[in-house]
Amino acid sequence: MKVAKNTVVTMTYVLHRETADGEIIQETTKEQPFQAIFGQGMLLPKFEENLDGLEPGATFGFALTPQEGYGEHRDENVIDVNKDIFVQDGVFNETICQVGAQVWFTDNNNQPFPGKILEIGETTVKVDFNPELAGVPLYFTGEILDVRELNESDFGGCGGGHCHNQSCCESCGGGCGE
């Protein structure tokens, strides 16, 4: 069976920064493969485009520009937030709010989204809300392990069947158990 819309694809991949020889950002293995429903908008569109039509046993290697990946880094996504939001029981929470830490925020619809602490000032905290890989050229190598038809059981659990411990997901940033 070939990778196509509404199939469940199991694969391994190595995600590199910039080129096939670049720093390894993320890696899945045959023991802990990546699995996702194909053609449902859960994956980066260009990632899907490069896998479309492949069969089990096929290997792949392709580059994604920042625009095809997680977008360009946008300065307007780096903002100062009031330091008071990190106060719990009247005390600034230094355990959570540390330079370099990823902190989860919620929007007006209670949807979580991450931000990276860049700087802690007297009254504000500078937070970068860009995706972690924004502005980074990406290079994927990997192998298709299995392709099967989608079935009802694939829609249970978190992520609408997008259950894995790795992340190549455009909209969620994580797999089950995270």
pTM of structure: 0.73
| Rounded CA separation 171/160 (Å) | 12
pLDDT digits (tens, 9 = 90+) for 73-106: 999 999 999 999 999 999 999 999 999 999 999 9
pLDDT digits (tens, 9 = 90+) for 155-178: 765 444 444 444 444 444 444 333
Separation in Å, CA 41 to CA 48, 140, 163: 9, 18, 14
Domains of the chain in start order, with CATH, are 7-70+133-160 (3.10.50.40), 75-128 (2.40.10.330)
pLDDT digits (tens, 9 = 90+) for 36-56: 999 999 899 999 999 999 999
